[in-house]
Structure 1
């Protein structure tokens, strides 16, 4: 589902008032806010991670959001998927999210994809984006997004959360050097970890999804992101560690022999 898109040349008075607290920040100011209004973010997955990410990107004034999810809202989602409401149960998640995001900010454009995209379709959509957020919960999708962003040289903001734990990194493929998602997890690892099997505390996905929105905004504004770094969040102890993440020369996708 698509709407026409006209590149915004200036912010109107309503937008100046709405985004005034961000415009006051020297790292953003008027030019940065206008840049956000001209930007296109694609969010894959409108669940626990995608919900807060979408809400904050919409609220922050990112001009175009493309939402991709083929699932429907279930009552068990409402514990953590805060973009959806009780009256959205049974709706397509992207339709539910669009409805509630448009109620939050009428100044933005939202496109929705309520089906499982082929790898060719993923590649085409990623090529149109300025930043991509991986808010999915399965390795097949994560590897497909990693490949598409690597091929199109687009920044990929990757988040994950399970139980009390969260992870966050940004793979900025606009830069010549750095790791990809497959440097961290091998495609044939056979790992299966998701909240439907292992559980998750609701605010954990909220923390990680909100941080993904921060990373996406920084990527759009060419500010420093978690490129080459992996943030590990322990919600139980409230400890956060940031580890260096190096490119793997043997990676089947981005590996370059020494």
Structure 2
């Protein structure tokens, strides 16, 4: 498809990049990305993907906007309190780029609906705040052969990686780093431990960069690397991560063979 005059103006700063160009912008416009969670990470991620011209954005979240969200969840405003987050996020996206198609999923991701929802998209971005959903996403994306760009934040620390263990080579999955979820009484959420609001913008925006790189096929992605950001020390470091032969999902003798392993766990 040819870019319109308005699109040539809107995406001019992309098009003059040698790594993107007109063909890359057209590729973005044809792309479909699912963002899981419209909160701290999902907000900047959705807004930047919309501004970049990703043609179809799915957003799944069953939560409503709360006053306590507004310290970091920039897709929502005071007038949105009580509104479904997927509706508020869709309205914010429309204000930025009305050409983007938004598919709201006002529900929780579960083992029962994961395959149907994720199967509609080219790539998934994880902006969740709980380990159960994070593990479900990892496993579903592996079975469905979808790249997963994952981000997490807590207090002053953030991390990002890309998981595509379905591809050949030394590409680990999330379970290669963490084989099983931590006990519920150990794992903390931002609501329990706190989080610096602007940190969500940093990590969510960096996720957006990695999503665009994956869609465009440019640069060095984060598959096989875990990027760690310490806001208090202003330090960024990257750790090499390898595929784990004993991984229960993508290892040599996997014990997880389908989403049925999650039945009764996701509620």
Matched, 1:15 2:7: yes
Matched, 1:157 2:149: yes
Q: 3-state DSSP class of the match of 2:242?
A: coil
Q: How far apart, CA to CA, are the structure 2 residues paired with 1:66 and 1:12?
A: 24
1:173 CA drift (Å): 3.8
1:152 CA drift (Å): 1.3
Q: How far apart, CA to CA, are the structure 2 residues paired with 1:176 and 1:120?
A: 28
* Equivalent in the alignment of 2:178: 185
* Equivalent in the alignment of 2:26: 34
Provide TM-score, normalisation by structure 2: 0.91
1:174 CA drift (Å): 5.2
Matched, 1:145 2:137: yes
Say what the alpha-carbon RMSD is for the aligned residues.
Answer: 1.1
Q: 3-state DSSP class of the match of 2:18?
A: coil
Q: How many residues align?
A: 249
1:188 CA drift (Å): 4.2
Q: Map residues 168-207 of structure 1 onto 2, 5 A cutoff.
A: 168-173=160-165, 175-177=167-169, 178-190=171-183, 191-207=186-202
1:197 CA drift (Å): 0.6
| Aligned mate of 1:55, from 47, 50, 60 | 47
1:122 CA drift (Å): 1.3
Q: How far apart, CA to CA, are the structure 2 residues paired with 1:169 and 1:179?
A: 10
Q: 3-state DSSP class of the match of 1:128?
A: coil
- Answer whether contact 2:135 2:181 (CA < 8 A) is retained: no
Q: 3-state DSSP class of the match of 2:162?
A: strand
- Answer whether contact 2:31 2:55 (CA < 8 A) is retained: yes
| Aligned mate of 2:230, from 229, 234, 237 | 234
Matched, 1:216 2:211: yes
- Structure 1: 5+ residue stretches without partners: 1-8
Q: How far apart, CA to CA, are the structure 2 residues paired with 1:21 and 1:79?
A: 30
Q: How far apart, CA to CA, are the structure 1 residues paired with 2:112 and 2:15?
A: 38
Deviations 1:116-136 (A, max 9, x none): 133232112222211100000
- Structure 2: 5+ residue stretches without partners: 254-267
Q: How far apart, CA to CA, are the structure 2 residues paired with 1:132 and 1:199?
A: 26
Larger CA deviation: 117-126 vs 127-136? 117-126
Deviations 1:175-225 (A, max 9, x none): 213110111112243241211011000111111100111000011011231
| Aligned mate of 2:105, from 90, 109, 113 | 113
Q: CA, structure 1 residues 174+31, in 2 after alignment: closer, same or farther (shift >3 Å)? A: farther
- Answer whether contact 2:143 2:166 (CA < 8 A) is retained: no
